[in-house]
Structure 1
Amino acid sequence: MSEQRSYPEAQQLLESNDIFVMPSEVHGIITGLLACGLDIEEHEYQGLLCDVLNDGISFERTLKQWLSELYTQVVDSFSNEQLQFELMLPDEEESLIDQANALVAWVNGFLLGFGLKQQDYGKLSADVKEVIQDFTEISRLDTHFDESEEDKQALHEVLEYVRVSAMLCFAELGKRDTSTTTSKTLH
């Protein structure tokens, strides 16, 4: 696997392919798909991303490779025992407004990805339903922040809540570990 692209490099790659969404939104879509139960071993996400981001037109090779790497990164971070899952957002050196806008785009992407595959909301646990409600509220977040310590702290708390909530959804709905999906055929 090649070296991970920076946020600005990912933005440039998307724009050079006439896909005008933030990298954070793409990461959110992939995370939402996995968190709602998309089978990790399947590559259905590629077609879903083509449909959602590119009117069903296949991606060019470099973009497809980056999306595959991003998918693998999310799978690996969700499967990591140390809870190292992180949202793909601009660096902390960027303005709080840019960070907040990227967070809102990530949450919108998550909701989109989750909604693409999770059709039966009635069967979701109370915790997951609360996450979806909270994410819907966060998607409406006023992203006008001052560069104050209070605003930095507030954004950090929302970001951490979103990160932990995505892991909760994956832990409850998304785990498709190869050790648990082994054949159950009786001989």
Structure 2
Amino acid sequence: MSVFEENINDLYDRFEELLAEANCEITAAEFQGILSGMISAGLQRSSLSWLEQINALINENNGFSNELSQFAKMLVEETHQSFADDDLLAPILIPDDSYPMVDRLESLSFWSQGFLLGFGLQFGDEKALQNEIKESLTDIAEISQVSIENDDNEDAKMALETLVEHIKVAVKMIYMELVRNPTSESKLSSQKTGSKTIH
């Protein structure tokens, strides 16, 4: 079983603590979203370029503590493993349904924003993307802005779970198209890292 399914709340809470201790103005969900975006766009498993890039983005190049760095490296390895497992959808680090709906929805929004940022950092030029991938990125961008009214009822909970599953499927599809079965054009573009945002 993936760590994202087995101990999701413990993983989320501990990462939040480490980020707060390091005075990093980013949530655990957004951090793992950035990693997921970079991995979906072709970040190599052996690469540590993500550590320098995220450090520059959220910590003004002040460096991470050893504990935070080791935790983040564990997280990126677990994220890589989950993406590579054909039996699993994309891993998303947000709290489970024992948390209030408003917190889960906020985490999903942060995760989605992080994913788009990470994807843009790693991939570069969006013009080379297939239309299906562009549509999935648009869906993720829209979900990052979503709000749910009456968040204490069962319909709202089901709506949130639907959004989570939609993102998991969309992100896994992006990964499969760009990393597992890339076209030559997409593979070339995913190796570039010039762009920092999705336009």
**Aligned mate of 1:98, from 103, 111, 120:** 103
**Aligned mate of 1:89, from 94, 99, 102:** 94
Give the total of aligned pairs: 174
**C-alpha deviations, 1:74-107, integer Å up to 9, x for none?**
0000111212543111121111110000000000
Q: Quote the Cα distance in structure 2 between the aligned partners of 1:69 and 1:83.
A: 18
1:41 is displaced (CA, Å) by: 2.1
Q: SS where residue 31 of structure 2 aligns?
A: helix
Pair 1:175–1:52, CA change in 2 (3 A): farther
Detail structure 1 runs of 4+ shifted over 6 Å in the superposition.
Answer: none
Q: Quote the Cα distance in structure 1 between the aligned partners of 2:60 and 2:178.
A: 28
Aligned 8 A contact 1:25 1:108 in 2: yes
Pair 1:145–1:32, CA change in 2 (3 A): farther
Q: SS where residue 42 of structure 2 aligns?
A: coil
Q: Percent identity, aligned pairs only?
A: 28
Q: TM-score, normalised by structure 2?
A: 0.82
Aligned 8 A contact 2:12 2:93 in 1: yes
Aligned 8 A contact 1:39 1:174 in 2: no
**Aligned mate of 1:151, from 131, 150, 156:** 156
- Name the amino acid aligned to 2:77: T
1:68 and 2:73 correspond = yes
1:44 and 2:81 correspond = no
- Name the amino acid aligned to 1:137: E
1:125 and 2:127 correspond = no
**Aligned mate of 2:28, from 23, 30, 48:** 23
CA RMSD for the aligned pairs?
1.8
Greater Rg, structure 1 or structure 2?
Answer: 1
Which structure carries more helix by proportion?
A: 2
Aligned 8 A contact 1:50 1:58 in 2: yes
1:143 is displaced (CA, Å) by: 5.0
Aligned to 2:15: 10
> Tell me, which stretches of 5 or more residues in structure 2 are unaligned?
1-5, 182-199
- Name the amino acid aligned to 1:121: E
